Structure formats: structure tokens, C-alpha cells
Amino acid sequence: MGLNVWLLLSAIVVITAIVSVRLAHRTGLPSLLIYLGLGLLLGEAGFAHIHFENAALSQQLGLVALAIILAEGGLTTNWQSVRRAVPSALVLATVGVAVSIVVFALAVYNVLDMSWRMSLLLGAVLASTDAAAVFSVLRRLPLPPRLAGVLEAESGFNDAPTVIVVTMLSLPSEPLPSVWEILVNAAYELAAGAALGLAIGPLAAYLLRRVALPASGLYPIAVMAVAFLTYTGAVQLHASGFLAVYLATLIIGNSRLPHRAATRGFAEGSAWLAQIGLFVMLGMLASPAELPQTIVPGLLAGLVLVLLARPISVAVSALLVRLARIDRISWREQVFLSWAGLRGAVPIVLATIPWADGMIGAKGVFNEVFIIVVVFTLLQGPTLSLLAKVLGISAEGEARDIDVEAAPLEELKADLLQVRIPVGSLMHGVEIFELRLPTNAAVTMVVREGRSFVPTPTTQLEAGDQLLVVTTAAQREEVERRLRAVSRKGKLAGWYGERGTI
């Protein structure tokens, strides 16, 4: 096929993928399943009959795509929301990953009669939660900021240690690495990657604030160039590129940059394109004729992961966090964290590493991981919202940020909050002036039953209303606390001692 035909096919795939996002949003499914399906349709058994089986190329492109997705995650993550959750997330991303690998390997070694290397390798491949899947599903759920922050930060941090372990276990010519070798190598790569990200992030933010570029469209390009610089620089230093790029972009995204909203929008578009290309490519890489024979072992391994390895790793991490007095994760939150450990592109990409290295049986591992991702994402994704409600941990009254392109908000150092009043909220019946927001905050618009209007001080709020609140950045936390307090205890929340803390 000529270049024009490839461009035509690529455009059709991208447009189809974009349209499918609406379906995924309504059903609660991560869009990765639809993208994988598109890849299967284009592959050797699909209508396009494209024969693609280059594991080495898939590995390289996949790692770059994951770096882009992590960069977008860092740029769009609100540090104030995840700050309290970072210590717990770090424990889950390190100790939790190690526990998950060991528990999973012990189980499948006996159940599936696999070798120790293969058992540990499969456990390492599946230990990491997927940033793209977690971001796409959880950012639509009304979760408490701390719990959502734990899941987001964990998915951003845990890719780094799993890549290190998978790489060390994927060398067929080398003996099985000792625990000491893994710990030393992982400690160096994580420390060096963190140091690089923490150095480049503030420096890039400082320079971008002071360099007057001639066009606003250059700022998003500069930020993504910094992300690539951080990732490739870390890889060249044999450090963790994933950890470096996530930390650097997290710092940049939470700095007051010129045209920050446009930068975040560009990063989100780049991440969507990376997701589409990545999942379609992985779908093309799979061989449908080989998948049926791996369904049973794949399902057994998936059950071990979801019902045994993940819950135990969460429970051990929660115990360590509590003993260290870092945080306290309730049993309800532990159940949700266990079920919300979504797998996606990361395990499939990691499964290409031993395949590209020529490891015997690695293609079978790839097929099993493919089955696990498809089946358990289909099972877990749509049920997260229901589980949150059953466990009583949903937080539908929380204020949420929305992206704003208006330049005056940037210049005034203001934030625009979107607040939805859920059924049962004591904010129902409260008049605008009774909210008693800080002096530099105001409710600028109310959306009710599809109709928007500018409220007056005596406008009475109703359940189901959506409010747009403008506030200075310095008072944003105070505004959120006041809104939560009124939602919980009504206009006299202060008399009841309700301060709206998370």
C-alpha cells in the first residue's frame, strides 16, 4: 500500500476511535477495549489482513507511548488533591508491587505448573496498574480526593519498578537475579530517575515563565519537548524514565505557566493519540488464532491477580501505612483499591519485553496477558461506580476543576470550579448568599435542567444544579471546604462544627 492509502486508513482508525469514546464514556468501559478491537480487525485475522509481529518495534513504540501518557497524567494531576495521598501511593507502588509479584508467583507456580522465572515474570508484568485506564475511568467517578489521589499517583509511580523487574527477569541467558540484585538495581534507577525529574521540572517551569515566546502554540510544544528530554535523558543514564517524566511534568503542570490550559489541552490530545496508536498496534500484534488456547490459564491467572495478589498487596501496604502513621486506609477503601487496580496497555507492553529478547514461552505470556486485560477490564471498569456506592465512599458533592481557556483567569490567578449538587445534599434549598463564600469568590452561573442563568444573592439552589464558582487561587481550598460543609450540614454548618475537611 502507498503512503496515501496508509494515511487514509490511519485517519479512518483515528476518527472511529474518537467516535467510540462516547460509547465508552456511557458504558463506563475504558476505551482501550475498543481500540484493541480495532487493532484485531486490522490485523492478520481482520478485514485488512495486516501481518504485524514485530515485538521489538512494539516494545520501543509502546514505551514511548506510555511516556507520553504519563506526561499527560503529570500535567493534568492537581498536586493539592494528591499531596496527602502520595506517601500511601508510594508504598503501594513499591512494597505493594513486590508483595503482588511474590503472592502471584507462588500461586501460579502451583496452579499453572509454571517455572519460577515464568511465574515471577508474569507476576511482574501484571503488577502495575495502567495510568491510561485509571485516568480515563476514575476521573469520571465522584470519589473523595484522597482516595482518587492514591489511585492516580499509584498508577503514575508503579510503572517504574515493574519495568525494572520485568527487564531483569527477561534475560534468558542470565541466571535468575537474586533479591539483592533486584533491590540494588531498582533503588539506583528509581533514585536517579526521581532526582532527574525533580531537577528538570522546576528548571523548565522557571524558564517557561520567563521566556516570552512569540506564539502561544509554542508553549505546549516546549512542554512536551521537555517531557521527551526528561524521559530519554533518564534512559541514557540507565535511570527510570517513567518516574523522571512523571515527576517533571507533575511539577510543570502545577506551576503557573503562561497558557497553562492550552498546554494541558495539547497534552491531553497527544495522550489520546498515543493511546489510540498504542492499543491499535497491540491489537494488531495479537494473533487471534493463538488466543483460545490461553483463555483458561489466562482466566486462572487473572483470578489469582484480582482476588488474591492485589487484595493482599493492598492490605499489606495499608498496614504499613497505618503502622508508620502516614495515613489510615479503611477496609472499604481497601476493597475499592483492590478492585480498581485496572490493567491496560502497561502489562501488554511489558509482555513484549521478554518476547523481543527471545525468551522461550514469552509469546504465550503475551497472549495470557492480552486475555487478562480484555476480560478483567470488561469486568472491573463498568462496576467501579456501583462498588463505590455500595461501599459508601462516593463523594458526589465534591468541587471539581474544569479546564478554562480564558486568559483573564490566568492573569488574575483565579480558578474556576464546577460543583454539582447531588440528591440528598443539604445544599438543596440554600440561597446563594447563605453559602457565605469568602470575599474573593462568587457563584457566577447556575445550570438547572439544561438551562443556564446568572443567579442573584437570593437564588435558591436545588439538587441537581451545577454551579460555576470563580475564586482566587489562594482561597480555593477555603471555598471547597465551605461548599463541602454546607453540603453536609446545611447553611448552619459552622454551628454544628462542620469545617468541610476531607
The predicted-structure confidence for 172-192, as pLDDT tens digits, reads as follows 767 788 888 888 988 999 999
Report residue 352's pLDDT band, with 50, 70 and 90 as the boundaries: very high
Report residue 30's pLDDT band, with 50, 70 and 90 as the boundaries: low
Does 68 score more than 80 pLDDT?
yes
Report residue 400's pLDDT band, with 50, 70 and 90 as the boundaries: very low
Q: For residues 85 and 320, give the distance between their C-alpha atoms in angstroms, rounded to a whole number.
A: 14
Does 122 score more than 80 pLDDT?
yes
Of the listed ranges 14-28, 149-163, 358-372, the least confidently predicted one is 14-28
Residue 420's DSSP bridge partners are 466
Does 402 score more than 50 pLDDT?
no
pLDDT of residue 411: 55
**Grid cell in block for residue 462:** 436545588
Whole-angstrom Cα Rg for the chain? 23
pLDDT of residue 26: 64
DSSP of 285-312, one letter per residue? HS-GGGSGGGHHHHHHHHHHIIIIIHHH
Of the listed ranges 107-111, 130-134, 434-438, 448-452, the least confidently predicted one is 130-134
Q: For residues 31 and 380, give the distance between their C-alpha atoms in angstroms, rounded to a whole number.
A: 13
Q: Which CATH number fits domain 400-496: 3.50.30.50, 3.30.70.1450, 3.40.50.300, 3.40.50.150?
A: 3.30.70.1450
Q: For residues 137 and 343, give the distance between their C-alpha atoms in angstroms, rounded to a whole number.
A: 12
pLDDT of residue 405: 35
Report residue 401's pLDDT band, with 50, 70 and 90 as the boundaries: very low
DSSP 455: P
Report residue 485's pLDDT band, with 50, 70 and 90 as the boundaries: confident
- For the chain, what percent of residues have pLDDT higher than 70? 92
Laid out side by side, the sheet with 451-453 consists of 400-401, 414-420, 466-472, 441-448, 451-453
* Residue bearing the bigger pLDDT, 500 or 437: 437
pLDDT of residue 320: 94
Query: Average pLDDT, stretch 291-299?
Result: 90
Q: For residues 260 and 267, give the distance between their C-alpha atoms in angstroms, rounded to a whole number.
A: 10
Assigned CATH for 3-47+55-391:
1.20.1530.20
CATH 3.30.70.1450 boundaries in the chain: 400-496
Mean pLDDT, the chain, whole residue set: 85
Report residue 235's pLDDT band, with 50, 70 and 90 as the boundaries: very high
Does 128 score more than 80 pLDDT?
yes
Does 359 score more than 60 pLDDT?
yes
Of the listed ranges 81-85, 475-479, 498-502, the least confidently predicted one is 498-502
pLDDT, tens only, 406-459: 334 555 677 788 888 887 788 889 999 999 898 889 999 999 988 999 999 999
For 253, list phi and psi in degrees, rounded to 5: -65, -25
Does 272 score more than 90 pLDDT?
no
pLDDT of residue 336: 92
pLDDT of residue 40: 87
pLDDT of residue 334: 93
pLDDT of residue 126: 92
Residues with Cβ within 8 Å of 366's Cβ and at least 6 positions away in sequence, in order, are: 55, 285, 286, 348, 351, 352, 355
pTM of the model: 0.75
Report residue 138's pLDDT band, with 50, 70 and 90 as the boundaries: low
CATH 1.20.1530.20 boundaries in the chain: 3-47+55-391
The residue among 421, 447, 439 whose CA lies nearest residue 479 is 439
Query: Average pLDDT, stretch 273-295?
Result: 88
